[in-house]
Chains A and B, each alone.
Chain A
Amino acid sequence: MKEFKVLMVDDEEDFVRTLDERMQMRNVDTSVALSGEEAMKKLEEDPPDVLLVDLKMPGMDGMEVLRRAREAYPGVQVVMLTGHGSEADEAEARRLGVFDYLRKPVPLDQLMRTLKAAYKKKIEQAMVAASFAEEGDFESAREIMTGNTKKK
């Protein structure tokens, strides 16, 4: 039984395939997309627990993947892993609700800790949202899943 599911999105195929192999050895259920467009298709077919996404890619970039994923799949936590990030990029990603923003080359144990923390957040959010939904408060449940909690 794998621990949790991660979709890795990066156009650097050598990097993402090697990382894929190492994560599978660590009992993580992984899949790979080599573009933003492919990632959106895979998200629709089989949403992961965590999305690990590169920032700069040809076609749809990581920021757009983050934006769309947070809108359409609010339960999926997104971690950005990039060799390109500026401080402005990081600020924008955090505004859009990224769980964490890491810079390449990151040690694998640090990446694993971040992915596990993202998965934990997903489970906790789902549990709280479920308790609101059980009481019929679907608006609050939705707010918790998207992270857009309004003050009441």
Chain B
Amino acid sequence: MNESLFMGKVTAAMTHEIKNVLAIIRESAGLAQDLLAMAGDSGFAHKEKFLRVMDKIDKQVERGAEIVTRLNTFAHVPDHEIRREDLSSVLDEMLILSHKLSRLSGVNFTVGKGSTSVVLEADPMKTRMTIYRLLEFLTPLVGKGSEIQLKAMKNSHGLPSLGLIIKTASLENFCIDGILADPEWNSLEMEFGSENAAIEPSPERDSFVIHFV
């Protein structure tokens, strides 16, 4: 068993435990609400506030369950060296996994919906690493208030590719050629370009396309 597989196996087991914890929190909060409902209107001055707090707990449990489900899916990524998967689903997964990065940087990540299904057959871990590292690299450059849209596409040869469409608050501050000349970008390109993907700017120079190979 390699390190990634081991890490994934342990993480997946832990996500199952967290789901049990979330279920206990939800049921305990629900029971408190049930008891309050049984008591009726008499005697509890802070009923409205209490119900608001219980509602907040329920919503956070839902949010936690969604994150844990995605984390569980992610933990199973190293199970396959090569996997056929829908690229749009991978992007949806990455949106959840990079939520913290988006929140801290103030850059909004979105997934653009394509008209056709794009199926990618590649190393699933490397695909995710490529996307995450690109987002990590680009967020400080595009700046707060910008948007990076990820879109599953097919290139002119019908092969799967990923569009990274960047919408900056002020386009003049965003220099795609500056990014391409950045040494960090070159190292990213070296890292992913040779084995997994070729990364190119669009002819309009306002977006990138990653061609998976």
B23, B28, B34, B58, most chain A CB atoms within 10 A: B23
A117 in contact (CB, < 8 A): no
Of B14-22, B43-51, B96-104, B196-204, the segment with at least 4 beta carbons within 8 Å of chain A is: B14-22
Known interface pairs A83-B19, A105-B19, A105-B61; A18-B24 also in contact (CB < 8 Å) = yes
Q: How far is the CB of B32 from chain A (nearest CB, A)?
A: 10
Known interface pairs A84-B16, A105-B61; A15-B23 also in contact (CB < 8 Å) = yes
Residue total for A at the interface (Cβ-Cβ under 8 A):
17
Write the B178-203 contact mask toward A (1 if CB under 8 angstroms, else 0). Answer: 00000000000000000000000000
Q: Which of B19-63 contact A (CB under 8 A)?
A: 19-20, 22-28, 30-31, 34, 38, 58, 61
A21 touches B22 (CB 8 A): no
Q: Which residues of A contact B23 (CB under 8 A)?
A: 12, 15, 83, 104-106
A105 touches B65 (CB 8 A): yes
Q: Which residues of B contact A103 (CB under 8 A)?
A: 19, 69
A67 in contact (CB, < 8 A): no
> When chains A and B are docked, how far (Å) is the Cα of A14 from the Cα of B24?
7
Q: Which residues of B contact A91 (CB under 8 A)?
A: none
A116 in contact (CB, < 8 A): no
Q: Which residues of A contact B20 (CB under 8 A)?
A: 12, 15, 83, 104
Q: Which residues of A contact B28 (CB under 8 A)?
A: 14, 18
Residue of B nearest to A18 (CB): B27
Interface of B is mostly: helix
Q: Which residues of A contact B17 (CB under 8 A)?
A: 83
B16 touches A22 (CB 8 A): no
B38 touches A25 (CB 8 A): yes
A108 in contact (CB, < 8 A): yes
Residue of B nearest to A21 (CB): B31
Chain B interface residue bracket vs A: 20 to 34
Q: Which residues of A contact B27 (CB under 8 A)?
A: 15, 18-19, 22, 105, 108
A105 touches B34 (CB 8 A): no
> When chains A and B are docked, how far (Å) is the Cα of A56 from the Cα of B16?
10
Q: Which residues of A contact B30 (CB under 8 A)?
A: 18, 22, 108
Q: Which of A80-108 contact B (CB under 8 A)?
A: 83-84, 103-108
Q: How far is the CB of A38 from chain B (nearest CB, A)?
A: 19
B16 touches A83 (CB 8 A): yes
> When chains A and B are docked, how far (Å) is the Cα of A15 from the Cα of B30?
12
> When chains A and B are docked, how far (Å) is the Cα of A1 from the Cα of B166?
63
Q: How far is the CB of B51 from chain A (nearest CB, A)?
A: 16
Q: How far is the CB of B124 from chain A (nearest CB, A)?
A: 16
Residue of A nearest to B25 (CB): A105
Q: How far is the CB of B27 from chain A (nearest CB, A)?
A: 4
Residue of B nearest to A55 (CB): B16
Residue of B nearest to A85 (CB): B16
B22 touches A105 (CB 8 A): yes
Write the A61-92 contact mask toward B (1 if CB under 8 angstroms, else 0). Answer: 00000000000000000000001100000000
Q: Which of A8-39 contact B (CB under 8 A)?
A: 12, 14-15, 18-19, 21-22, 25
Q: List 9 A-B contacts (CB under 8 A).
A: A14-B24, A15-B20, A15-B27, A18-B28, A83-B20, A103-B69, A104-B23, A105-B27, A107-B26
The residues of A with any CB-CB pair to B shorter than 8 Å are 12, 14-15, 18-19, 21-22, 25, 56, 83-84, 103-108
Given A22-B34, A103-B19, 5 more contacts at CB 8 Å?
A83-B18, A83-B19, A105-B26, A108-B27, A108-B30
